[in-house]
Amino acid sequence: KHKILHRLLQNSTS
Amino acid sequence: DPYCPYPTSLLHIEELCDSIVRSHRDTSQFRLEELQALRWKLFSREELHAYQSKSVDEMWQHCAVRLTEAVQYVVEFAKRIPGFRGLGQNDQITLLKTGSMEVVLVRMSRCFNTENSTVFFDGKFGSTELFKSLGCGDLMVAVFDFAHSVCALRLTEQQMALFSSLVLINPDRPCLEDRGRVHRMRRDLEVCLSHMLRRDNQESLQHKLYQKVSVLQSLCSLHVEKLHWFSQRYPLIVHSVFPPLYKELFT
C-alpha cells in the first residue's frame, strides 16, 4: 500500500 | 541491535545524542547559514501577485510538491535515528505517516523570520499572503503562529534535532505492532533530551517542548481536513498530479 515509502525506507542511507 | 539489552549508561546516551544531532544536520534540507543570509530576500509585489493569481488547484499542487520534498528529508532523518531501522517496516511507516508532517512543521521554524512573519519558500521569504490562493487562511495563520511559538523557544540545532526525534518516535501512535520497542527507543531519547537541557542549563525547556506536541497534532489534522475539502472539489487533480508520496501519507 505504501510503495514509495517502502522504497525510500529500503534505500541505503548513503 | 543497540536496544537489546537496554543500556542507560551515560556513554550510550551521549553517543545517541551525537548521532541524532548528526542525522539532523545531514538531512536538514536548508543550512542555517543559508537561511540567515537570505532572510531579507522577500518576494516582490509582482511575484506575490503571480502566486495570488494561481488557481486553487495550481497552488495546492505546488504546495503539495514542496511539502513532499520536505517530507523526504524527514524520512532520511528517521532512517538515521539509531534503532529506527531495527523496527518492523510497518511500524516505521506508521511513525512516519503522522510524524513526518509534524517534524516538517518543527523544522519550518528554522526557515521563519519572526521580525516580519515570513517563511522561506521557493527561494525567498514570503508572508501568509503568499498562500492566499490555497483557500486555507486559517491553516496558514495557525502554522505561522506555531512557527512564531517555536522560534520564541530559541532552540539550538542540537535541541531541535532531539525534539524532532521525540516527535517522530511516538509510542502512542495507533496500529503500532511493537509498541514496547518504540517505547524503549522513546525513553532513551527522553533521557538524551533532559541530559542535553541539563548540560545547556535550560531544563525549563523540556515542559515547553512537550506542550508543543498537542499543537502539532491539531495542525496536522487541520491539514488533512483541508486536503479532504480540496480533494472533494478536485478529485482528479489529487489523483493524477499530486506527488504519490503525498497521497500515501495524507490520503
Q: What is the pLDDT of residue B2?
A: 55
The ipTM of this complex is 0.95
**Cβ separation of A5 and B76 shorter than 8 Å?**
no
Q: Collect all residues of chain A within an 8 Å Cβ-Cβ radius of residue B89.
A: 6, 9
Per-residue pLDDT of chain B (251 residues; tens, 9 = 90+): 555 554 568 888 999 999 999 999 999 999 999 999 999 999 999 999 999 999 999 999 999 999 999 999 999 999 999 999 999 999 999 999 999 999 999 999 999 999 999 999 999 999 999 999 999 999 999 999 999 999 999 999 999 999 999 999 999 999 999 999 999 999 999 999 999 999 999 999 999 999 999 999 999 999 999 999 999 999 999 999 999 999 999 99
| Gap from A2 CA to chain B (nearest CA, Å) | 6
Inter-residue contact B169 to B84 (CB < 8 Å)? yes
Q: What is the pLDDT of residue B3?
A: 54
Residue in the structure block whose three cell numbers are 537561511: B35
Q: Collect all residues of chain A within an 8 Å Cβ-Cβ radius of residue B244.
A: 3-4
Q: Give SS3 for B26.
A: helix
| Gap from A4 CA to chain B (nearest CA, Å) | 6
Q: What is the pLDDT of residue B209?
A: 96
Helices (H), chain B: 10-26, 32-38, 45-52, 56-79, 89-108, 137-152, 157-168, 179-199, 204-233, 235-241, 244-250
Q: What is the pLDDT of residue B12?
A: 87
**Cβ separation of B248 and A9 shorter than 8 Å?**
no
**Cβ separation of B249 and A5 shorter than 8 Å?**
yes
CA–CA separation, B92 and B57 (whole Å): 31
When scoring B248, B249, B251 by the number of chain A Cβ atoms within 10 A, the one with the most, hence best to mutate, is: B248
Please confirm whether the linkage preceding B5 is cis (ω < 30° from 0). yes
| pLDDT at residue A12 tops 90 | no
Q: What is the pLDDT of residue A14?
A: 59
- The enclosing H or E element of A9 equals helix A3-10
Q: What is the pLDDT of residue B28?
A: 95
| DSSP 8-state secondary structure symbol assigned to residue B3 | T
**Cβ separation of B248 and A13 shorter than 8 Å?**
no
Distances (CA, A) of B150 to B14, B160, B218: 25, 10, 15
Distances (CA, A) of B52 to B56, B85, B118, B197, B223: 9, 42, 16, 43, 20
Q: Comparing C-alpha atoms, which of B153, B73, B78, B59 is closest to residue B112?
A: B153
**Cβ separation of A9 and B80 shorter than 8 Å?**
no
